[in-house]
Amino acid sequence: MTRYVVVTGTDTGVGKTVTTAALAVALGAEGLRVAVVKLAQTGVVAGEPGDIDDVVRLTGSSAVHELARLRDPLAPETAARLEGVSLPPVAEVADRIRRLDADIVLVEGAGGLLVRLDLDGGTMIDLARALDAEVVVVAREGLGTLNHTELTVDRLRAEGLSPHLVVGSCSPEPGLAERTNRTDLPRLTGLPIDGLIPAGAGALDRAEFCRLAPGWFTALPTG
């Protein structure tokens, strides 16, 4: 059976795309056929590179799918309303994802957990439920991450969903806040940190990224 993992963040710009690419490489190294879905790319127009192009550049995979592209760099719902276009409801998106032929499908969201993905108020929570998916939460390592991460993890648990925690864009020379947060995040969320993605990982060439990525994780989503 195909397994589904949705990748969300505590905020925008936390490193979801690079984390998704790294997960694709690490799971592929386990012998799994991995597909990657970007739900909605905002802030780009036709012909411009987006997040899914970064996944291809880093992993070399052709099993990638971008489901919506919107002009303005906003939440998908807001961008769609401004552009005067529709977005497929989450239930329809889930059906499309289920038709993909893969052992595991990684689904990258937009922004944080409760960002609206369609014009009916659907969120990553609704999609994760529809797919019976595990959820990888990508968190920042600096100031503010404790509150944002606890809120995200608490909401996922309240919804009966299974979260995993990864810290994105980790500094090679962490300061006091970054060092203490690596201890406090597991203590306050009750989750181990399953991965530390180094800052600048997205600028690596493909060979180096694929060589290093499996080592960034201490555990992978197991189903």
| Residue 120, C-beta contacts closer than 8 angstroms, at least 6 positions apart | 89, 90
What is the helix (H) or strand (E) element at residue 109, kind and residue range? strand 104-112
| C-alpha–C-alpha distance, residues 55 and 19, integer Å | 10
| C-alpha–C-alpha distance, residues 131 and 108, integer Å | 13
What is the helix (H) or strand (E) element at residue 115, kind and residue range? none
Buried b / exposed e along 143-166 (16+ C-beta atoms within 10 A): eebbebbbebbeebeeeebebbbb
Question: Bridge partners of 66?
Answer: 38
Question: Is 38 assigned a catalytic role?
Answer: yes
Q: How far is CA 213 from CA 144, 155, 223, in A?
A: 26, 29, 20
- Residue of 16, 38, 69, 116 with catalytic role: 38
| Residue 98, C-beta contacts closer than 8 angstroms, at least 6 positions apart | 2, 131
| C-alpha–C-alpha distance, residues 20 and 38, integer Å | 10
So which residues are the catalytic ones?
38
